[in-house]
Amino acid sequence: MAASAELRVDQLPADPLLHILSFLSFRDLIKYVTDYLVTNGYRQEKVTVKMTALNNADRVLSGTSWYCLFRQYYRDLGRYITYYPVLKRAWEQLKTFLQQRCPRMIASLKGADYKAPPELELNNIEAQINGSLPNDYRCSYRIHNGQKLVIPGLMGSMSLSNHYRSEVLLDIETAGGGFQQRKGMRHCLPLTFCFHTGLSQYMALESAEGRHKFESFYPCPDQTAQDPSAINMFITGSSFLNWFTTYVHNVVSGDFPIIRDQIFRYVHDKGCVATTDDITVSVSTSFLPELSSVHPPHFFFTYRVRYPSVFPVRQHRFLLCCNSSACFRIEMSSKASPEAACQLDSRYWKITTSDGNVEEVQGPGVVGEFPVMRPGKVHEYSSCTTFSTHSEYMEGHYTFHRLANKEEVFQVAIPRFHMVCPSYREPAGRTQKTSSNYMSHLDDNGEEDCDGDSDSSAT
């Protein structure tokens, strides 16, 4: 008998395969599928999560056989088997976190409540925009249909004295209504929207005008191009799955601080901490695309500093306006002796841009304040700066004096922190180059105060 090619189970047509598997009990089916997938290179935990779409509780509740239930699930969700476990886990982690830290935001989430059956509704949106939605995007919207148009937005906030941004995750109907076909933004679907700035992140449904298919981005008008429709792009994700799960990880891992029940997209490098005697300084940074541009080169960051003293006090957050922002935390150990109490007198900065330029800045206090540090105290403020290069780093020190002896002066190190703008892309065919190299105007203190009276508690 002639040898025949081996017939693999996954090569069988769906209907005969389902008929064969219908002779197995529910428990045997789960064991068989799990063993088969693990044998073929799937990790055990991934297989387990993938099978959670089909369970005995669902079967009993529906009053149908597991075989019929399996067919129903397969018809409805089979196309999403690659994405469903990852996105479902991300949504559950995000909701658990929000319930604990931002409970009012939970009420703004929209479930899978569509006017028509979910798949039909998604198909209708595709017909409306005359394009195809990626399966990871469709799968996420089968779990949660975005967010109500309310503040605060699920996708992060930022606040300066005269500038506020909070991005809502759009539901599928609103996103479809905002689909772009104008020159410079062809085949682009909005993912988020901010009421205050009009800012949106978009997803490219086709490779066009210098964009890669399915990547997410902030549009940035090219102010130096002759064509007014020329759009540069700050890239935020290679796909919807990458964009959404990366954001959720930053939220639930605590990388983004919660301020006034809102998610602030400051990023803290865990190595960006320096301790001098009893005082610890840490810094977080954030890039603001809505205040930045590629042409001309103008990159806006904000940085947030926190430093801790034995008495509980309010934490203050002061924001400065130039085009880069960070958060500073200064903390004095609660174990320090009362005689260690001190007051900040001045600051010194050494700023190095990616093209090698170095600038040194020094001045009295921080954002017009001269904080007194006592054991257990935490002082926090934010500042900003603008650069014409896509990355730079800053470092320096504060000068303090002891309250018990003003002649005792000492320095506290500020750790080096980097500010790097996200990857950006220019529109296809752009030939004009901009070579100007400038930094935003700084006042005599090297900083511009834009929120000297903004207080909040960071959690």
Question: Which domains are assigned to the chain?
Answer: 83-250 (3.40.1580.10), 269-306+324-425 (2.60.40.1470)
Confidence of residue 35 (pLDDT cuts 50, 70, 90): low
Q: Is the whole model's pTM more than 0.85, yes or no?
A: no
**Contacts of residue 309, Cβ cutoff 8 Å, sequence gap at least 6:** 331, 332, 336, 341, 372, 373, 374, 375, 376, 377, 378
> Percent of the chain at pLDDT above 70?
71
C-alpha 160/C-alpha 272 separation (Å) is 23
pLDDT higher than threshold 50 for residue 437: no
Confidence of residue 47 (pLDDT cuts 50, 70, 90): very low
Q: Output the pLDDT for position 46.
A: 43
Helix (H, G, I), strand (E, B) or coil at 226: coil
Looking at residue 389, the DSSP 8-state letter turns out to be S
> Percent of the chain at pLDDT above 90?
42
Spacing of C-alpha 21 from chain mean position: 43
Range with top average pLDDT, 13-22, 143-152, 291-300: 143-152
- Helices and strands in the chain, H and E counts: 11, 23
